Amino acid sequence: RVDVCPKGCIWKDAAHLDKCEVCHADRYVKKRLSGKLIAKKQMIYFPIAPSLQRLYATKHVAEQMRWHSENPRSGGSLTHPCDVDAWKHLDDCYPSFAAEPGNVRLGLCTDGFSPFGQFGQTYSCWPVILTPYNLPPWLCMKKPYMFLSTLIPGPKAPKGNFDIYMQPFIEELKQL
């Protein structure tokens, strides 16, 4: 769990503060009987390194992670994310990254839902899911290869603060 400012403007470097440096909102509701503080807002982050390591743990899947570079496709049809202009633009901008077919390319998606349905409570949950696009098209979107990275709970959608919630993910990518 990662504590964040109730308004979404605090993380990592200011984690020791009781109030947000930007909006001065209280970070904690109250103390528990045990003396621990209860954060007003939290998110749950699942590290992606173990999931990526699992992809390379078996020979068959590790070989499939190079599919995008070893299977040329005919022009004019979109059958895999590597067929789109954005992929080709990334290859042009970062040729050293593109030269190594084992480098992992991830797709990120999210969508909120209301776990309480139509029972009148305003609450939403936003899962952030990652998909490795190195895999063949018939495996890219299968459940075993989709990783839950982050859960953003709260009464409101993350909207403009989404980048705050992505900070643990970005920090981990920098380390990897």
pLDDT score of 74? 66
Question: Buried b vs exposed e over 136-152: b needs ≥16 C-beta within 10 Å?
Answer: ebebbeeeebbbebbbb
pLDDT score of 2? 74
Q: What are the Cα distances from residue 13, in Å, to 4, 39, 86, 126? A: 11, 16, 33, 24
User: E strands within 11-167?
Assistant: 28-31, 37-39, 41-45, 106-110, 124-132, 147-154
Amino acid at 68: H
pLDDT score of 21? 78
Q: Which residue has the tokens 């992929």?
A: 87
Where are the alpha helices (H) located in the chain, listed in sequence order? 49-55, 59-64, 67-70, 85-93, 95-99, 137-140, 162-165, 167-175
Three-class secondary structure of residue 168 per DSSP: helix
* Cβ–Cβ under 8 Å, residues 133 and 68: yes
Question: What are the tokens at 107?
Answer: 């797709």
pLDDT score of 31? 67
pLDDT score of 93? 95
| Below-50 pLDDT ranges, the chain | none
* Cβ–Cβ under 8 Å, residues 5 and 17: no
pLDDT single digits (tens) 64-112: 999 888 877 666 777 788 888 888 899 999 999 989 988 899 999 988 8
Q: Provide Rg for the chain, Cα atoms.
A: 20
Amino acid at 3: D
pLDDT score of 20? 79
